[in-house]
Structure 1
Amino acid sequence: MVVRTLIASLLLAAGAQALAAPPPLSAFFDNSPFNGAMLSPDGRYLAAFIGANDKRDGLAVVELDTLKATMVAQFSDTDIGQAQWVNNQRLMFSTTDKASGQRDMRYGPGLFVVERDGKRFRQLAMRRNAFIRNGSDDNREMLPWHTFMLDEPGAQDSDYVYVTDASITKAGTLVALDLLRLNTSNGTALPVAHPGTARSWTLDQNGEPRLLQTLDQDSAKLLYRDPASSEWRTLNSYQGYTGEGQNFTPLAFGPDGALYVISSQGRDRSALYRYDLEHNKLPPQHVLELDGFDFRGKLIISKGRLLGVRVHADATGTEWFDPAMKTLQAQIDARLPGTINLVTPPVRPESAWVLVESYSDKQPLRYLVYNTETQKFSEVGRIAAQIKPADMGPRELYYYKARDGLQIPVWLTLPPGGAKKNLPMVVLVHGGPWVRGGRWEWNADAEFLASRGYAVLEPEFRGSTGYGKQLFRAGWKQWGLKMQDDIADGARWAVAQGYADAGRICIAGASYGGYATLMGLIRDPDLYKCGINWVGVSDINLMYDGGWFYSSDLSNEWKRYGMPALIGDQVKDAEQLKATSPLLQASRIKQPLLLAYGGADRRVPINHGLKLYDAVKAGNPNVEWIEYSEEGHGWHLPKNRIDFWGRVERFLDKNIGTP
């Protein structure tokens, strides 16, 4: 197979030199110099996010037939964040500052456009009070800093796009998300009239706004704008913070105008349906379901036809409807064995190029383009390029039964090579908690720990999403209770299976995972020999009211309607919240504990950590405190990620590792 690196002139050397085992911390936690790519609508050009030679991330465009690469946008003080093709000639993009923590963020993302040859650069939206002028025609009023791109690029066949105008509180809470029709050539924008308080939008097959989700207090609605009358009508009304009464969620419009939705009505796990807009109802038969998982995915449309669906089951893959794409997938898979290869055709192809994203549990995402006529690959770039698959361990999905009989999915990552039994183990608890924790892919946190000789167990405890309503609903009001039992049962399952040494298990996690770490040390002191909590909740009542000095981005509506139902009511469940408070039971934590918090965290303000540290330290000398004053809810800066995981490595080696 002939592989050519497209952007060698813009990257540092694409191939990493042989690494000593195990790979260094930077291989896992440094910023990647390559961050993805996307085809133009006609498939003749490729846009890629590139940072090289200590420069900020820029936006490069490659003419695929000639392999000529041009850096079309790059700043000295910030990085390119998101981008999308407006049409075959023009790109729109925003910025993000990868060199600043949350405390030091001073600017919004801005909004800019540039031609594919780097000409006609223009700023359309402000970065707060910062203006970047480029010519006399820019002496006009720009859109405000809180203007953002939609996740949907639209029709990509004119100068027009739709962008959102977000209303955001000082604490960072989203209030409303209005829509603007923006002319990217002259910068003029017009608002889209709509009822209610807008929270999300869906464009139709022609790139026009067709669906609107509103949220007023706890009352949510899904509204459809009739193309014949332009009038809005309600398709579904439901409770906004618990989802009670929500019959389906919209996915996208097909090329024929059909609305595809995701629904679990009458079933435990959701499936994909083609919604009946004429009669406002779901059809009796689904289009596609995933074995063992709620449906997640997106439509793949090219040449005005629905070719297939990108699906997210245990791994991200593709279900092709089109016979020609099935054949092409088989050809590419035969040339790239051992990896999942995601093939994306252009929207309106005028060339033979397709984009291929290749990955496995041991290989981070690798981007290539494939010419269907010459049958040759050209490599574009790799995420985490220092990582070698041979240095990584296997990752698999298993299931175990909790003590009440509920089936719990769990991800297990093992060290590369060597022994697979009786290992020291880290139980890594995901945050959220109302999210899906993992999938079959390369995971930096888990693979780092595995590379240091630890088995890594990641339970999808009750309350996790993606595995059906029963598992999700079973987690309501179970913080510190049955959710905690599921995690402990997973650790004991790993011991019974022979993977873990019962005397060398540590529990760790961030946010909710940090809360579960603390409750695990309290409830199961015989099981966990140590704990690592970063940015973790230490008391549920502190989430409701952290005091006047510490601001939180949790909205009053979430505290009023969501938290009482999903976590616990401050009045009705007062005793339960006391019994499941790590802060109030801190004296029971006797194991070694590593605590890390961000000084600018608005999701779990630092007082959660400060209060807990003081309470635990009073009776436990083995408590280590880390504060990254510039960070928020997680580590944005590579230096802090590397520092933190280096401390984790030393902490684990001391307490459960092998000298």
Structure 2
Amino acid sequence: MNFQRVFRSVTGAILLGLTLASATATLAETARPSVESFFQNPAFSEMALSPDGRFAGILVASSGGRVQLAVMDLASMTPKAVSGFSDADIGEFHWVNNDRLVFSMTDRQVATGDIRYYPGLFAVNRDGSNMRTLVDRSPYAQFTTGTAITSKVLPGDTYFADVDRANTSDDVFVMEAVRNNVFDLKALNLLRLNTKTGRTTEFERPGNSVDWIIDQTGTPRVTMTFEDGRNAVYYRDPANERWRKIAEFDAFNGEGFKPYSFGPDGTFYVLARNGKDTEALYRYDLVKNAMDSEPMVATAGYDFRGDLVMDGNKKKVIGVHYETDASASLWFDDSVKKIQKSVDDLLPGTINRLSFGRNSQTTNVLVHAFSDVQPGMYLIYDTATNKLTLVGRAQPGVDPKKMALSDMIHYKARDGLDIPAYLSLPPGKGKKNLPMVVLVHGGPWVRGSSWNWDAEVQFLASRGYAVLQPEFRGSTGFGFKHYSAGWKQWGLAMQDDIADGAQWAISQGIADPKRICIAGASYGGYASLMGLANNPELFRCGVEWVGVTDINLMFKSSWENDASAEWQRYGMPILVGDETSDAAQLKATSPVNIAERIRQPLLMAYGGSDRRVPIRHGESFRDAVMPHNPDVEWIDYPEEGHGWALVKNRVDFWTRVESFLEKNIGKGAPSR
């Protein structure tokens, strides 16, 4: 690796982030935004305060495009590059203490299929000195021998876990992957790692640990294991430092709880349903081995998803960031409530997420401001002067005034289940009789969307299309009933939810019934194909990329498939179906077996190096559908994996999508 430092370009890059937005907005007043403007890598991707709040670490792209780590002295607002490379990008970073940081690496200039290295872990002082490799980017450990000490560089399959919350040492915690003979992950070893000496201390685990929780003193105190489809939670009692099992439950059926975090006062927090439909945040008494009867934070209609905000000096939780239809913050500290109001008054059009150092009472507050039309701004709020200073923008080439507004709506599925969805309408096109793209999320066991800027959605809206993103049954975040209603429903009720969303948009007068296209990636690609097959009268065309076409291939372990044997054995029979007892259903709901039913125009794209959904899914379906459908466009990117990592491929793909949609549901579409 070339450890060339590129110091001179960072200050200019940050300043560029401040000036480009206004210039771009002026030039773009009369022009439709280019494809490239939506799919560039972010210019400014992360910012975090030091524990004492006097400095800010920043990830910013240099003039050559490489992401570098800079540290800004907030007294002078002067940034200084502390680490940068000519052949790699900084991936993420964390403050270890006020003087030292750790970071990992990636490479934004190679496709997923060409990445041959791990992210590694490196440490550096905030002035750029005393840099050290802690975890190698190769899979093998390395040793350097001196006169009195042998220093170990950990192997690449080792990953950052947490900092020492006390912020008084140079240590961090890392997790070392333990794999079986077919390279499936079996457990995670936890190690304390000194960022100056490289010395490690390994902690005993009570089983196949897959999660670790560090307490406020920097001690591993809780771990969760996974074996034979079951989770167990263990507590390491301070009295004897031995592991004690405190709970065991099925890993998939919503039982039990999920260890979440320790607060600065030693309170243990968990996520649990506790007999209700949605997960909430609870306090858990480790002495009595019992949860509180009432949650600390519950979000009606949503599973709790968020972050505790802690004040180490006050030794208490001062607030929580959480998400419902949009992100929000709940503050328990009156002084922080006042700061939030002051910032919101200055930035009324965005969600303004506040971050602090270890102490919430310092002068400097980091503000991450974002919305459905704003990709993200990073600012420093001075509590003494009530002033905001803009530091950088994630996408300086994006003009928020030209973006589409998004809102969460709800509609009823045919069986009465409530389905949330995000609806985005093209700016300046009205709200009636619009061409529409139903954009189906992947996973599928995830929450697909949030109220923030989405490049794909905004690109489609900029071309005149309404965009509907259904959170069909099986999506997470909306309660266990919504999630479990999707079990074994690939191509069935999950698919009906998507069609019902399109019908809702028609019934509301929003969508032109003759101009609706279905699109999505991964599971969304699968659902796009099934939508074309099941609802040809509804969907006039389809765009699918890296989509599953044969469910049975998901049960096959091979060098080209990254699905673990544990997932295939325990997860898939519950969530997708049993390979034997549900064989007929899985066959009937695999697009490759019903390809002859798809006669609408179809755009397909796959990555040649995809290990999540190997390209043979696409090739077998292509070969099955083309004899019956002359209007199929095939794209493959040999170097890409499960999605498009390279800007040039993102631009190429969406340029093709633009032409395809224009031809089939846009102004160039024939009347039907």
TM-score (norm 2): 0.93
Q: Assess, with a 3 A threshold, how the Cα gap between structure 1 residues 285 and 649 changes in structure 2: closer, same or farther.
A: same
Q: 1:93 aligns with which of 81, 95, 103?
A: 103
Question: SS at the partner of 2:457?
Answer: helix
- CA distance in 2 between counterparts of 1:169 and 1:34 reads 39
Measured after TM superposition, the shift of residue 406 of structure 1 is: 0.7
- CA distance in 1 between counterparts of 2:310 and 2:94 reads 16
Question: Are 2:352 and 1:341 equivalent residues in the alignment?
Answer: yes
What CA deviation, in whole Å up to 9, does each residue of 1:327-362 have, x standing for no partner?
Answer: 111111111111111111211368410100111111
- CA distance in 1 between counterparts of 2:233 and 2:660 reads 49
Structure 1 stretch displaced more, 374-383 or 626-635: 374-383
Q: Percent identity?
A: 50
Q: Which amino acid aligns with 1:293?
A: Y
Question: Are 2:605 and 1:596 equivalent residues in the alignment?
Answer: yes
Tell me the residue number matched to 1:249. 258
Q: 1:109 aligns with which of 98, 115, 119?
A: 119
- CA distance in 1 between counterparts of 2:145 and 2:647 reads 36
Measured after TM superposition, the shift of residue 380 of structure 1 is: 1.5
Question: SS at the partner of 1:652?
Answer: helix
Alignment of 1:403-414 (within 5 A): 403-414=414-425
Question: SS at the partner of 1:12?
Answer: helix
Measured after TM superposition, the shift of residue 455 of structure 1 is: 0.4
Measured after TM superposition, the shift of residue 134 of structure 1 is: 12
Measured after TM superposition, the shift of residue 173 of structure 1 is: 4.0
Tell me the residue number matched to 1:38. 48
Q: Assess, with a 3 A threshold, how the Cα gap between structure 1 residues 30 and 135 changes in structure 2: closer, same or farther.
A: farther
Tell me the residue number matched to 1:76. 86
Tell me the residue number matched to 2:7. none
Q: Assess, with a 3 A threshold, how the Cα gap between structure 1 residues 650 and 115 changes in structure 2: closer, same or farther.
A: same
Measured after TM superposition, the shift of residue 154 of structure 1 is: 3.3
What CA deviation, in whole Å up to 9, does each residue of 1:130-177 have, x standing for no partner?
Answer: 999999899843111112111566332211111111135697643321
Question: Are 2:33 and 1:50 equivalent residues in the alignment?
Answer: no
Runs (5+) with no aligned partner, structure 1: 1-5
Question: Are 2:334 and 1:330 equivalent residues in the alignment?
Answer: no
- CA distance in 2 between counterparts of 1:174 and 1:413 reads 40
Tell me the residue number matched to 2:33. 23
Q: 1:418 aligns with which of 413, 429, 433?
A: 429
Tell me the residue number matched to 1:476. 487
Tell me the residue number matched to 2:204. 193
- CA distance in 2 between counterparts of 1:130 and 1:227 reads 35
8 Å CA contact 1:261–1:273 kept in 2: the answer is: yes
Q: Assess, with a 3 A threshold, how the Cα gap between structure 1 residues 121 and 460 changes in structure 2: closer, same or farther.
A: same
Question: Are 2:454 and 1:443 equivalent residues in the alignment?
Answer: yes
Alignment of 1:355-504 (within 5 A): 355-504=366-515
Paired residues, number: 650
8 Å CA contact 2:142–2:153 kept in 1: the answer is: no
- CA distance in 2 between counterparts of 1:349 and 1:323 reads 11
What CA deviation, in whole Å up to 9, does each residue of 1:355-408 have, x standing for no partner?
Answer: 001111111111101111122211121111111111001100011111111111
Measured after TM superposition, the shift of residue 98 of structure 1 is: 1.0
- CA distance in 2 between counterparts of 1:446 and 1:526 reads 24
Question: Are 2:286 and 1:277 equivalent residues in the alignment?
Answer: yes
8 Å CA contact 1:413–1:455 kept in 2: the answer is: yes
Post-superposition, which runs of at least 4 consecutive aligned residues in structure 1 deviate over 6 A? Answer: 129-139, 169-172
8 Å CA contact 1:161–1:183 kept in 2: the answer is: yes
- CA distance in 2 between counterparts of 1:598 and 1:530 reads 22
TM-score (norm 1): 0.95
Question: Are 2:579 and 1:575 equivalent residues in the alignment?
Answer: no
Question: SS at the partner of 1:180?
Answer: strand
Tell me the residue number matched to 2:6. none
Measured after TM superposition, the shift of residue 235 of structure 1 is: 2.2
Tell me the residue number matched to 2:185. 174
Question: Are 2:572 and 1:563 equivalent residues in the alignment?
Answer: yes
Measured after TM superposition, the shift of residue 539 of structure 1 is: 1.0
Q: 2:594 aligns with which of 585, 596, 611?
A: 585
Q: 1:143 aligns with which of 149, 154, 164?
A: 154
Q: Which amino acid aligns with 2:338?
A: T
Question: SS at the partner of 2:525?
Answer: helix
- CA distance in 2 between counterparts of 1:165 and 1:321 reads 37
Measured after TM superposition, the shift of residue 55 of structure 1 is: 3.9
Question: SS at the partner of 1:584?
Answer: helix
Q: 2:16 aligns with which of 9, 12, 18?
A: 12
Question: SS at the partner of 2:591?
Answer: coil
Q: Assess, with a 3 A threshold, how the Cα gap between structure 1 residues 332 and 233 changes in structure 2: closer, same or farther.
A: same
Q: 1:289 aligns with which of 282, 285, 298?
A: 298
Q: Which amino acid aligns with 1:253?
A: F
Measured after TM superposition, the shift of residue 205 of structure 1 is: 1.5
Q: Which amino acid aligns with 1:656?
A: I
Q: Which amino acid aligns with 1:69?
A: P
Q: Assess, with a 3 A threshold, how the Cα gap between structure 1 residues 487 and 152 changes in structure 2: closer, same or farther.
A: farther
Tell me the residue number matched to 1:121. 131
Q: Assess, with a 3 A threshold, how the Cα gap between structure 1 residues 185 and 118 changes in structure 2: closer, same or farther.
A: same
8 Å CA contact 2:429–2:464 kept in 1: the answer is: no
8 Å CA contact 1:107–1:130 kept in 2: the answer is: no
8 Å CA contact 2:406–2:425 kept in 1: the answer is: yes
Tell me the residue number matched to 1:3. none
Q: Assess, with a 3 A threshold, how the Cα gap between structure 1 residues 171 and 524 changes in structure 2: closer, same or farther.
A: farther
Structure 1 stretch displaced more, 164-173 or 531-540: 164-173
Q: 1:616 aligns with which of 610, 618, 625?
A: 625
- CA distance in 2 between counterparts of 1:634 and 1:13 reads 27
Tell me the residue number matched to 1:227. 238
8 Å CA contact 2:145–2:151 kept in 1: the answer is: no
Q: Which amino acid aligns with 2:443?
A: G
Tell me the residue number matched to 2:74. 64
Q: Assess, with a 3 A threshold, how the Cα gap between structure 1 residues 339 and 506 changes in structure 2: closer, same or farther.
A: same
- CA distance in 2 between counterparts of 1:510 and 1:630 reads 17
Tell me the residue number matched to 2:217. 206
- CA distance in 2 between counterparts of 1:324 and 1:623 reads 60
Runs (5+) with no aligned partner, structure 2: 1-9
What CA deviation, in whole Å up to 9, does each residue of 1:618-655 have, x standing for no partner?
Answer: 11110011111111111111111111111111110010
- CA distance in 2 between counterparts of 1:264 and 1:389 reads 39
Measured after TM superposition, the shift of residue 275 of structure 1 is: 1.2
Q: Assess, with a 3 A threshold, how the Cα gap between structure 1 residues 26 and 171 changes in structure 2: closer, same or farther.
A: farther
Question: SS at the partner of 1:145?
Answer: coil
Q: 1:298 aligns with which of 289, 293, 307?
A: 307
8 Å CA contact 1:262–1:272 kept in 2: the answer is: yes
- CA distance in 2 between counterparts of 1:261 and 1:592 reads 48
8 Å CA contact 2:141–2:156 kept in 1: the answer is: no
Question: SS at the partner of 2:153?
Answer: coil
Structure 1 stretch displaced more, 13-22 or 42-51: 13-22
8 Å CA contact 1:599–1:631 kept in 2: the answer is: yes
- CA distance in 2 between counterparts of 1:446 and 1:133 reads 49
Q: Which amino acid aligns with 2:492?
A: L
